[in-house]
Amino acid sequence: MRIIHAKDYADMSRKAANIISAQVILKPDCVLGLATGSTPIGAYEQLIKWYEKGDVDFAEVSTYNLDEYRGLGHDDPQSYHYFMNKNFFHGINIDLANTHVPDGANPDADAACAEYDRMVEAAGYPDLQLLGIGNNGHIGFNEPDSVFSKGTHCVDLTESTIQANSRLFESIDDVPRQAYTMGVQTIMRARSILVVANGPKKAQAVYDMCFGPVTPACPASILQLHTNCTVVADEEALALCH
């Protein structure tokens, strides 16, 4: 596990975007695993700027997002499908037919998750998987548990995750209570993993991910066992790692 120190959020975003753009330049038809949330937005904005300058070309790239709220259709402004279009895909030249997000509108959780696993496997798994990390150490929506999850599955979101995500909704009552998420085993199949983290609220989770015991109580800790994992985090998120 490589740890790259960034001065602040903007520096973290640039460094992460550098790693993602290098992957695309080296393998123009690569498969990217992508994340939502506020942390990666800066990296997406930087990649859009580089695309506009002609420095990186996404025409052959395909993407698979980690997760989606259960019960939200693609056009729902709170869906992750909508988030990705707004914050990234509409700013670059990617073929939207090559972008994939779990089907939150499918009420049949088993069918929706099995279909997404089939698609990710058929794509050969990501060349690079981008991850954020939750305050409780979750990756994707894989919450602290007694076991590491395997394939895509339906999860009940914890109160801490619902609280953290409520800032994006008009009311906490509007936050979905379940989500479809790639499993930890699926995430670990990626050939390289890039974790981004910023701010003091992530400091304990980042420390546990990098230096704590490998335990499903901190799902991100399993990344210690990945052969090609890079963490880019700002000074506040790395405060406990010195």
pLDDT, tens digit (0-9, with 9 covering 90-100), for 163-215: 888 888 888 988 899 999 999 999 999 999 999 999 999 999 999 999 999 99
Q: Could you list the active site residues?
A: 67, 136, 138, 143
| pLDDT band (50, 70, 90) for residue 94 | very high
As given in the structure block, the two tokens for residue 179 are 């989500």
Q: How many alpha carbons fall within 13 Å on the CB side of residue 167?
A: 5
Supply the mean pLDDT for the chain.
Answer: 96
- What interhelical angle do 80-87 and 41-53 show, nearest 10? 40
Domain range list for the chain: 2-128+136-186+198-234
pTM of the model: 0.95
pLDDT in tens, 43-82: 999 999 999 999 999 999 999 999 999 999 889 999 999 9
Could you give the 3-state DSSP secondary structure of residue 124? coil
Q: Which CATH architecture has domain 2-128+136-186+198-234?
A: 3-Layer(aba) Sandwich (3.40)
Beta bridge partners of 5: 233
**With pLDDT > 90 as the criterion, what percentage of the chain qualifies?**
90
HEC letters along 196-211:
EECCHHHHHHHHHHHH
CB burial of residue 76 (10 Å; 0-12, 13-18, 19+) = middle
pLDDT in tens, 133-159: 999 999 999 999 999 999 999 999 888
How far is residue 186's CA from residue 23's CA, in Å, rounded to a whole number? 20
How far is residue 129's CA from residue 112's CA, in Å, rounded to a whole number? 21
How far is residue 170's CA from residue 175's CA, in Å, rounded to a whole number? 9
Q: Mean pLDDT throughout 108-132?
A: 97
As given in the structure block, the two tokens for residue 27 are 């393998």
pLDDT in tens, 15-36: 999 999 999 999 999 999 999 9
